[in-house]
Structures are given as C-alpha cells and as structure tokens.
Structure 1
Amino acid sequence: MALEEGKDPAVTTRQNQAKSLPFGVLQLFALFLALCIAFSVVSIYTIRHFRIYGVVTTVKSSIVSCEEESNGLDRWIKPPSNLLHKMSDKELFWRASLVPRIKEYPFQRVPKVAFMFLTKGPMPLAPLWDRFFKGHEGFYSIYVHSLPSFDGKFPSTSVFHGRQIPSQVAEWGKMSMCDAERRLLANALLDISNEWFILLSESCIPLYSFSVIYHYIKKSKYSFVGVFDDPGPVGRGRYNENMAPEVNITQWRKGSQWFEIDRKLAIKIVEDSTYYLKFEEFCKPACYVDEHYFPTMLTIEAADLLANRSLTSVDWSRGGAHPATFGGADISEDFFKRIFENQNCTYNDQPSTTCDLFARKFAPSTLEPLLHLAPKVLGF
C-alpha cells in the first residue's frame, strides 16, 4: 500500500517515532520531578528535626560559654580542683610567678595560710592535724610533697585527702631538697587566696590552736626565716668564692629550712634563677644547700622583711647532725611546760614570750599521748 501510494516506509516510521518521543520524555521528566520532590520533603523534615536543632544548640552553647568567660573571674581566682597536674617544674614556676599589677582585689578575698608538708611518705600524726584544722575551713590550704612512689590513701574525712602534689625525690643537703620546697611554694601560689606559706614535715606538731597561729602570722610585719651570719667552718667556711659577684662572703647566711613567708617572698623564691644557678653549682656537700640558699638569697633581696628567726622549735641538746626525736614516753605536761617557758624573742620589734608556733621531731608513738594532752595543753 505504501508503494502504491508512493510513500517511503522509513519516513513514515520516523514520523511516528517523532510523534511518540515527546510523550516518553514527559514520562521520564515527571518521574524525575516526583523523586526530587520526595527527596526535598524528606530532607526538609530531617533538617528541621535534627540538623537545625543541633546547630542552634551548638551556637547557643558557645554563646553561653563565651558570656561566662567574659563576665567572670572564676578561671583566675578559683584554686585548682585537682593538684595532680602535668606541668613541668619550668612551666609550674612560670605560672606561679604571674603577679597582678593592681594590688586591690576586685572580689572578696579571705587570706589563707598554706601548710606545706615535706615528707618521705606517711603522715603518722595526721589525726592530730585533722583535729587542729577542724572548724577552720576556708582559712587554710594543705599541700603534701612526698616521694613519687608514695600513694597517700588518706581517708576522705582527712584534711590530707587529695592534697599530694606532683613530686620528685628530694635528698637531704642537696639542691633537690630546695627544688621540693620551691615546688610546694609554686603549687600553693596557684591559689590566689594563699597569703602565707609555712613549711613543715611529717614530724611537726602545732603548739597552739589554729586561731592563735593564724592571727599571729596575719598580724606580723615580718616573715619568719632563720637567718644568721656564722663565721665558723659550718657557716662562712662553706662559702665558695666562685659564687661572686652574685653572692659575696659578707652576704653568706645560714639558717633553718623550716620557714614561714608571705606571698611576696614566695614569688621571689619561685622566680629566682640568678642565685639558684650559683648555689646549684657551687654549694654541694659538705655545703648543705638547704641551710644556705633561702637565707642568703632572701637576705640579699629582702632583708628588711625578715624576722631572722624560725617559728619551729627543735632540740639540739643531744648533739649530732640532726635534732632530737621525741617518743611517746617524752610527752607530758612538763615536757610542754619546758617548751613554752624557754621562749624569748621579738615580735613586731617588741619583746615576746610567744615565739615558736610549731615543734619537731615527734615520732609516730607520740600520737596517742598528744591527742590526749592536746585539749588541755595545746588548746585544740
């Protein structure tokens, strides 16, 4: 029929395909459009119920955090909640030496006493100290430097619980002993409320109640560091002339390592590098650096701020390189009567019979008799 009518079959076929092509394309486009609409609906639903809420929450949280940081001083005035930080000594000393230039505090500050215990390990007299501190929370801080291997598992009710600082081995008569003392000071300086710093050992006891000791220190015009010029072989005889010009022999001093100092002097000790390097290199046994470094350095830097005596009583009457150690049999009312009667000193440039606030060395066997006598003799 196509031939008879003079028509080309191929042309006819192409025409039919051309007519049918737009309808197929429309079908595909409609299917694609439907899929896009469905995907858009699902996406919008998901974003509204998940992503947008998440973004808003994140932004809101960031804004609150920013406001808290800009409007508060907590990050600067609150003491560290955990003493076991990971700072090196170099980092710690730098952080501790930061000093505000404005002297007036823009917040209520209750000055505290930092009690710093330099010990090998256990604190056998801890129950006595617990009783001493009871009821005076907010007026003291406690720091313990022990051997690194010691794990002080103090009960949660003890004032020593969680008060150990990162420590290193400290050897008597060597610079590592002064390093430990500087480490205690630096950690205590991180608490802006600590105003006075007392170095003690595990064998020390308080001779008065907390209130008496707190007000004695608070009202003093001076810091208490044992300082004297000893012309003999265990004094000037230990001086090394290589320490000049930073330290000359007329400035060389000796004293007890057990001190009480204020914040200003604590910062001087922590920030020092000039005298430290000289003592580290040229004061080695038989020059016992813990007897000379702080007394000499503070005499050079701040002699007018020192009382030139310690607050810690010791008994050298038995002779030897170390003071006498007291046992349980020594503890009696007469024992303390002798301690209190033999005190004569100056306090704020006036004669006083209240001189030593602490005493050492007390063995673990003294704990029970001390607890028994403390209310009557020591006032707590």
Structure 2
Amino acid sequence: MQSRAVQLEEGKENGVSVRTGNYKAFPPKLLLVLGLFLAFAVTVFIISVSTIKYVGIQSVVTTVTSSFVPCRLEEPSGLDRWVQPPAVLMHNMTDEELLWRASFWPLRKEYPFKRVPKIAFMFLTKGPLPLALLWERFLKGHKGLYSVYIHPHPSFTAKFPANSVFHRRQIPSQVAEWGRMTMCDAEKRLLANALLDISNEWFVLVSESCIPLFNFTTIYSYLSRSKHSFMGAFDDPGPFGRGRYNQNMDPEVPITKWRKGSQWFEIDRDLAATIVKDTLYYPKFKEFCRPACYVDEHYFPTMLTIEKPAVLANRSLTWVDWSRGGPHPATFGRSDITEQFFGKIFDGRNCTYNGRNTSMCYLFARKFAPSALEPLLHIAHKILGF
C-alpha cells in the first residue's frame, strides 16, 4: 500500500500519467478542411492580382469615379453658364440682386459662339392675357427668334398648356401702380430678367391689350435693321411736361433735359443695360416725381436723353388713340375691328426710319378689349399678315 501511494503521489506531481490520457488527437478531417480553405483563399488572391495586372488599375479607378459624373453635370461649366438662358424664370433674387446680376454685359462686340439675336416680348399685365391666341399665331413657326416674359399682379398665376409660348414664362412680380415708381420698377424687372438671356437683343414692352400689326418676319426685320431704339422723348413746355418738373432734381436732372414720352417702348440691349444699372437718376425720380408727375412718362425718356440721346428715334412703335380725351386712350372692342379701322392706323401719318421718310410708323397697337379677340383672329390673316 505504501509503495502504491508513493507511485500515485509521484504521478500527480509530474502531471504525466494522470492528465495526458484526457487529450485527444487533432481530427484529420478538420485538418483537411482547413487546408482546402487556405488553398482556395490563395487561389482567389492570385486570380485577383492577375485580373488587376491585365485589366489595369486605371479602369478600376475610372469605374469608381464615373459614378460621380452626373452630379458635376448638373451645373454648366465654361462658357455655357453665361450663354445658356435660365431654364426656370421664377427665382428668389431680390430686385437689388436681380438688377445687379442683369447689369453684367460683355464689353467686346464679337461673340465667341454663334449668337442668333432675339426679340424679348415683355408683357406688363394686370393678370390674364385675353389676346394670347392672337400672339400664339403671330409667334408660331419662329422659335429661337423670340423670348416671352410676363409680369402680372403678384396674386395672379398664369396657367398655359405646355405647348403654349406663354407656358412658364411668368417672372417674380410685385404690385405696379399707375403713375408711380412701382410701375417703372416692374418695367425694370422685366428688362432685367430678359437681359439674363444673352441672345435677347431687342426689348419690346407691351400690355395685355396690345396686338402686333404685322407678321413676325416683318417686325423682326424692322427692328434688326433699325439704327435707333424707339422711345418717345420730347420736350413739352406746357403744364403736363415741364410743368411737372421739380427743381430738387437738379443738377442730376436739369430742366433742359426733362422729357416726356409714351410708356410703351422698344430698345436695344445697350439701352436696356443702361436702364437696369442706373442708380443716379432713380432716387431723384422716386422722391420728386409723384402724381401729378407721372414717373412712367418721364423717367426713361429723360434718363436716356441725358445718357444716350443719339440712339433714340424719339417715337413709340405702339399706336394708341387719344382723340377721345381723358387720362387713358380709347379701348376697342368687337364692333371696332374692321378693315377701315386698320386702314386709319396704317395710313395715319408719316415718320422717319433710318433717316428716310416712311408710312410704316407703328408695329403694335392698343387698347383692345377681350371681345376683340374673335374678330381679330378672323381678320388677322388678311389684314395683319399672319
């Protein structure tokens, strides 16, 4: 017993005979699986390295970076950002920001791209355009030679079908009051938005009651060949001319340069830019030309007489009838639309065009009531040429 006890104690102390019997050998099958896994991993690694070697690392980089290209294409780069007109006319610029942006124009006359000059028709309206169908017919077939801008009362939203020339052509607007500076603000707003399209060369201000008197080709030719812009600017010595002048406007606006003219004008790009960049005359007219001084009759004619007198034809291209008297011209409805009526407009007077006498003095006419639309559409092809 003693001898056996001694052997057990010795075994416990050495830790050999007692515990080695509890461990099992590593399973051969598991070793085989591990070996196969390692072989597979090495094979995949070799194939990957070979693919990169033959295809090229550049193609992998190109594939990764190409997924970001559409994000960069959202914003035009280079010359396109200046040449392309705004895709959407509605914006969140203030008037101050808009006029600042629109006052940019190139000092070089040559264009580094093919530029087709356009006419910008600027509609200053109270709301709807009751004569829109007539203008649609007038502009049909001349896409790329004109632009349309609508400045209505801010509470009005124009709704035209997608195929209309007026579709989504409304600009951000504010209230325009007759005879007050807000009316000139609206006109400057129209000019500034139109100037954002570098291809707009001629700017025609019309109302919802205006109509064209000739077909588009004739009007385009008349404007493009003219050496002058068409804005009335005459010196009226009477109470409705110089009688409205305020001495506080001197010296920026001397009485010798005080002019009066029609609100409805056609000017070229240079004069449009001159108007929107003005900060010298605007404060004087805003403060000192209030009813009975009607600023929309004096601000632009006077300012341009001071700044650019040689380029003014000193007449408007829009015919109106003041023969009935009163503060507003006559309005014409359904019963007025006859061949004889238009004969009086076409043969009514003579004027000068590029230094020569002509009987073609008006390209547009107003004021026409909504009831005039149907007879106008009926007579347009024969009388107006479209």
Q: Secondary structure at the match of 1:274?
A: coil
Q: 1:198 to 1:9 in 2, by over 3 A?
A: same
Tell me the distance in 1 between the aligned counterparts of 2:104 and 2:77. Answer: 21
Partner of 1:26: none
Query: Does residue 100 in structure 1 map to residue 100 in structure 2?
Result: no
Render the CA deviation track for 1:11-34: whole Å, top value 9, x for unaligned: 869xx89xx9xx9xxxxxxx9xx9
C-alpha deviation, 1:60, in angstroms: 2.2
Q: Quick one: percent identity of the two aligned structures?
A: 66
C-alpha deviation, 1:292, in angstroms: 0.6
Partner of 1:245: 251
Partner of 1:321: 327
Query: Does residue 161 in structure 1 map to residue 167 in structure 2?
Result: yes
Partner of 2:362: 356
Tell me the distance in 2 between the aligned counterparts of 1:372 and 1:109. Answer: 36
Question: TM-score when scaled to structure 1?
Answer: 0.86
Q: Give the alignment partner of residue 235 of structure 1, picking from 232, 241, 244.
A: 241
Contact 1:343 1:356 survives alignment (8 Å)? no
Larger CA deviation: 264-273 vs 237-246: 237-246
Q: Give the alignment partner of residue 151 of structure 1, picking from 148, 157, 160.
A: 157
Q: Give the alignment partner of residue 224 of structure 1, picking from 227, 230, 245.
A: 230
Equivalent residue letter for 2:229 = S
Q: 1:232 to 1:102 in 2, by over 3 A?
A: same
Contact 1:173 1:288 survives alignment (8 Å)? yes
C-alpha deviation, 1:62, in angstroms: 4.5
Q: 1:4 to 1:155 in 2, by over 3 A?
A: closer
Contact 1:327 1:365 survives alignment (8 Å)? yes
Q: 1:66 to 1:5 in 2, by over 3 A?
A: closer
Tell me the distance in 1 between the aligned counterparts of 2:5 and 2:255. Answer: 132
Partner of 1:130: 136
Query: Does residue 173 in structure 1 map to residue 179 in structure 2?
Result: yes
Render the CA deviation track for 1:305-359: whole Å, top value 9, x for unaligned: 1001100011000000011111111111110111111121111111111111111
List gaps (5 residues or longer) in structure 1: 24-30
Q: 1:226 to 1:2 in 2, by over 3 A?
A: farther
Larger CA deviation: 81-90 vs 326-335: 81-90
Q: Give the alignment partner of residue 340 of structure 2, picking from 334, 340, 356.
A: 334
Q: Secondary structure at the match of 1:198?
A: strand
Contact 1:227 1:254 survives alignment (8 Å)? yes
Larger CA deviation: 244-253 vs 315-324: 244-253
Partner of 2:55: none
Larger radius of gyration: 2
Equivalent residue letter for 1:60 = S
Partner of 2:318: 312
Contact 1:2 1:8 survives alignment (8 Å)? no
Question: TM-score when scaled to structure 2?
Answer: 0.85
Render the CA deviation track for 1:115-163: whole Å, top value 9, x for unaligned: 0000001111111111111111111111110011112112233211111
Larger CA deviation: 150-159 vs 131-140: 150-159
Query: Does residue 267 in structure 1 map to residue 280 in structure 2?
Result: no
Contact 1:113 1:195 survives alignment (8 Å)? yes
Q: 1:200 to 1:73 in 2, by over 3 A?
A: same
List gaps (5 residues or longer) in structure 2: 27-33, 53-57
C-alpha deviation, 1:297, in angstroms: 0.6
Q: 1:12 to 1:91 in 2, by over 3 A?
A: same
Q: Secondary structure at the match of 2:274?
A: helix
Equivalent residue letter for 2:329 = P
Q: Give the alignment partner of residue 97 of structure 2, picking from 88, 91, 111.
A: 91
Contact 1:116 1:199 survives alignment (8 Å)? yes
C-alpha deviation, 1:7, in angstroms: 6.4
Aligned residues: 367
Partner of 1:200: 206
